Amino acid sequence: ATYASAPEKPCSSITPPYAALLDNLTKIRKRLNRPLTLAEKILYSHLYDPDNGIGGGGIQRGATYLQLQPERVAMQDASAQMALLQFMSAGLDRTAVPTSIHCDHLIQASTGADADLQRSIASNQEVFDFLESAAKKYGIEFWRPGSGIIHQIVLENYAAPGMLMLGTDSHTPNAGGLGMLAIGVGGADAVDAMTGTPWELKAPHVVGIHVTGKLNDWATPKDLILYLAGKLTVKGGTGRILEYFGPGILSQSCTGLATIANMGAEVGATTSTFPYTPRMQAYLHATRRGSVARAADEAAAKGFLSADAGAEYDELIEIDLSSIEPTINGPFTPDLATPLSKFASFVQENGWEDRISASLIGSCTNSSYEDMTRVADLAQQARAAGLSSKVPFLCTPGSEQIRATMERDKITGALEDVGAVVLANACGPCIGQWKREDTKEGANAILTSFNRNFKSRNDGNGLTMNFLASPTIVTAMAFSGKLSFNPVTDSLKLPSGESFKFNPPSGEDLPSSGFALGDITYQPTPVPDPQPETEVIIREDSQRLEGLEPFPSHFKNDSILELPQMKVLMRVRGKCTTDHISAAGPWLKYKGHLSNISENLLITAVNDENGEVNVAFDHDHERTQPAVDTIPGVAKKFRERGQPWALIVDENYGEGSAREHAALQPRFYGCAMIIARSFARIHETNLKKQGVLPLWFADKNDYGRIGSGAVIQTIGVHDLVLGNPDATVRVKVTTPAGESFEISTKHTMSSDQLKWLRAGSALNHIRSQLGK
């Protein structure tokens, strides 16, 4: 089937409710009485209660907490497991907003699409069965393995200008390419939207990025974001939305804008967005969503889909596209940006071997039709000159639609002719699902068109240097096999002795004969009716999935609203990211099994009492000296004894990601409170959601006064929980030697969050609100 013959998609579940959004916006405008950025318009029009929801002080960017109502949720197969287990324990019979599940992360790349897919389905069968049965029961759209990568499918099917959606994956902002706000969150946040509970976000700062000029021949939207990552660094976008505007945006394809939005995640941005453009409109038509385009046209005419004249940004960045050159970022961090013209000397200065060991294109970041036609053009030029790839050359299409269109338009053939292997429509090597056979352990360099390049991410080898570049640069360099080759200026020697130089690549952003749909059985029914009689499949002896028991409230009854007496498990020293608290890698397979994944609790954290990693002291042991064990080992013993416990932690505890397992796991073992010198905001919220009280030292010097085995008791939580969020909490500490003292603390609990604490978790609170 092609675009010409395929019918339009039904529009009811995929068109934002523009009339209602505009109505909300009018109410908010009256209150704020100032020009608004596009990001603000989209956020504020999705306020849960636009009449009363912003309080007397209006909305201060960077300060006010917004209660929002996202329109849609998308989840990938790894993170969907815990999100669904939490949703199931809320007791609803359907999701409150349209929701989709995408099976993409669990597909391992090895020999090629078909064999890889079959093998991965077999080895993850119970997880896919669980996801599919839960989808059926609750009316969720289920995109089965092989259908494509979450963000490409969202862009092709669900994204729409002005929409607000949540996704349980950090590259969810990819959908910003269609002029919307798409935000990556943890499962507990997704559950807020899925249960119709207001989702809370501190109003982000908005950075304006004014884009002028035109990209040169070899430069692509990927190069713009690679360049910007170098400027902003991996922290530069934290708590901020990147809002692009200006004439330079109009010359970019919708999918090119999606690439830019995708990698906003690399600078830590909340999300990225763009005003609605004619090329977004064309993309909506090409993906059979003419009705969405027409509705968006009307909303745009009413001023919804772009910033107001005079809107103020918290920072303004100017970019002239004509000054952007192809850029290569890495190794090991996405913000180490080197212009292509300087890359050869960068490699030489570092003493790295001038050799590429593999080239990889595609992924959610760069597998659009435009990307693929441009790389096919280079492949055809090389083939005509008698060249083929010098290194293993792998391509992951983003979706079945892209794969089928590539095949029909002879792009796949052009790539295979020069030695490429086209893998399954899935994440594969981008998420470490790469059974790499071409190189043994050891230092080596790969070039990819992906978005992340942290150590060990792709092949599990910490010495593999992953350099990020545009798909065209990755492809052209594969024909040389050398890091020092600059396809813009250099020639290659042909066997005949002649030299060959690439012409700048050309491509089309949309297929002239429309997209081929490929195997349409991959496409789920839009918003299917829930089938309540469906049994959600969790095998009793499963090592990968486990039902979630609600966490009990810490409070025995309503007259004693202090936390129970706690033991301090340990004092954590220095940097402790969500990776230290809940490691990934081999533990990924236990994402749906809280008991099993909890075995990794804090296993790379440093104990401040002896400077060692993964060592804790059990002062309850029946010996004169405390017993020494691993951190999860002691936590498990506390759980068995019913001993509530607390952690003492350092600065910016829980930085890194929204990984909710980092909050679920300590809670699972009985952690009731964490006292920090400071918290990373998202993790602090995740702790609150799971019913763990985060407190901040009023005097940071108190950190060193409390060690393992100390008994601690809160004083003042009672007043806090009874509705006085300004109450202060003191903590009485009794050391193992019997010394007693009190310390002061601060907190950031809002009155809503105190309800979560009282109920034992946000989910318990939601359940009681729903009368379940």
Identify the active-site residue in 89, 170, 657, 761. Answer: 657
CB of 215 to ligand F3S, least distance (A): 23
Q: In whole angstroms, how close is the CB of 364 to ligand F3S at the nearest point? A: 3
- Give me the least distance between CB of 426 and ligand F3S, in Å please: 8
Strands (E), 441-496: 444-448, 464-468, 492-493
Q: How far is CA 377 from CA 64, 380, 418, 505, in A?
A: 50, 5, 12, 6
Q: Within 418-479, where are the H helices?
A: 471-478
Q: What are the residues facing 480 on neighbouring strands?
A: none
At 566, which helix (H) or strand (E)?
A: strand 566-573
Query: Is the Cβ–Cβ distance between 226 and 259 less than 8 Å?
Result: no
What are the C-alpha distances in Å from 81 to residues 87, 408, 434, 611, 639?
10, 35, 22, 35, 24
162 or 429: CB nearest ligand F3S: 429
With CA atoms as reference, report the closest residue to 130 among 524, 545, 537.
Answer: 537
- The minimum distance between CB 471 and ligand F3S, in angstroms, equals 13
- Catalytic pick among 659, 661, 758, 767: 659
Q: Which is nearer to ligand F3S, 105 or 288 (CB)?
A: 105
- Amino acid (one-letter) located at 68: L
Burial class, 503, CB count within 10 angstroms (exposed 0-12 / middle 13-18 / buried 19+) = exposed
Q: How far is the CB of 47 from ligand F3S (least distance, A)?
A: 29
Closest to ligand F3S by CB, 184 vs 392, is 184
Burial class, 738, CB count within 10 angstroms (exposed 0-12 / middle 13-18 / buried 19+)? exposed
Number of alpha carbons in the 13 Å side-chain half-sphere of residue 566: 33
In the 8-state DSSP scheme, what is residue 690? T
Q: Give min distance, CB of 83 to ligand F3S, in A.
A: 15
Token pair of 67 as six digits: 């209660």
378, 502 contact by CB (below 8 A): yes
Closer to ligand F3S by CB, 151 or 544: give it.
151
Q: Which is nearer to ligand F3S, 151 or 571 (CB)?
A: 151
Among residues 46, 72, 104, 747, the one annotated as catalytic is 104
What residues have CB less than 8 Å from 324, skipping those under 6 apart? Answer: 215, 216, 219, 223, 224, 227
- Among 233, 186, 183, smallest CA distance to 204 is for 183
Shortest gap between Cβ of 147 and ligand F3S (angstroms)? Answer: 13
Active site residue 765: no
Report the residue number, 132 or 169, with the smaller CB distance to ligand F3S.
169
For ligand F3S, give the closer residue by CB, 105 or 374. 105
Least distance from ligand F3S to the Cβ atom of residue 536, Å: 25
Contacts of 604 (CB under 8 A, 6+ apart): 579, 580, 583, 613, 614
Please indicate whether residue 659 is annotated as part of the active site.
Answer: yes
Choosing from 452, 457, 571, 573, which is the catalytic residue? 452
Q: Give least dist CB 171 to ligand F3S, A.
A: 5
Considering the complex, state which of residue 256 and residue 514 has its C-beta at the smaller distance from ligand F3S. Answer: 256
For the record, the structure tokens of 136 come out as: 């059926």
CA 14, 18, 23, 27 dihedral sign is positive
What residue ranges bind ligand F3S (CB under 6 A)? 104-105, 149-151, 169, 171, 363-364, 427, 430-431, 450-451
Out of 77, 169, 459, 702, pick the active-site residue. Answer: 169
* Residue 76: CB minimum distance to ligand F3S, A: 6
CA distance 335 to 195: 37
Residue number, 423 or 561, with CB nearest to ligand F3S? 423
Question: Residue 715, SS3?
Answer: strand
Tokens of 60: 């201060």
Conformational region of residue 55, where left means phi above 0, alpha means psi within -120 to 50, and beta covers everything else: left
- CB closer to ligand F3S out of 431 and 510: 431
Smaller CB separation from ligand F3S, 82 or 754 = 82
Residue 169 among the catalytic residues? yes
CA distance 28 to 713: 44
Cα-trace Rg, the chain: 26
* Rounded Cα distance, 744 and 532, in Å: 50
CB of 377 to ligand F3S, least distance (A): 24
Between 583 and 687, CB nearer to ligand F3S: 583
Q: How many residues does the chain have?
A: 772
Give the dihedral of Cα atoms 245, 247, 250, 252; nearest 10 deg. Answer: -80
Catalytic residue, candidates 61, 105, 279, 619:
105
At residue 286, the 3 state secondary structure works out as: helix
Query: Using CA atoms, how far apart are residues 454 and 438, in angstroms rounded to an integer?
Result: 20
Strand partners, 68: 47, 199
DSSP 3-state assignment of 532? coil
Nearest C-alpha neighbor of 446 from the set 655, 455, 171: 455
Nearest to 418 by CA among 363, 378, 446, 449: 378
Beta bridge partners of 607: 572
Q: Report d(CA 473, CA 326) in Å as an integer.
A: 8
SS3 of 536-579: the string is CCCCCCCCCECCCCCCCCCCCECCECCCCCEEEEEEEECCCCHH
Asked about 105 being catalytic, the answer comes back as yes
In whole angstroms, the minimum distance from the beta carbon of 614 to ligand F3S comes to 28
Which token pair is 247?
């004439």
Query: How far, in Å, are 196, 361, 492, 625, 662 from residue 386 at the CA level?
Result: 59, 22, 11, 74, 53
Closer by beta carbon to ligand F3S, 76 or else 197 = 76
Least Cβ distance, residue 170 to ligand F3S (angstroms): 8
* Residues taking part in catalysis: 104-105, 169, 452, 657, 659
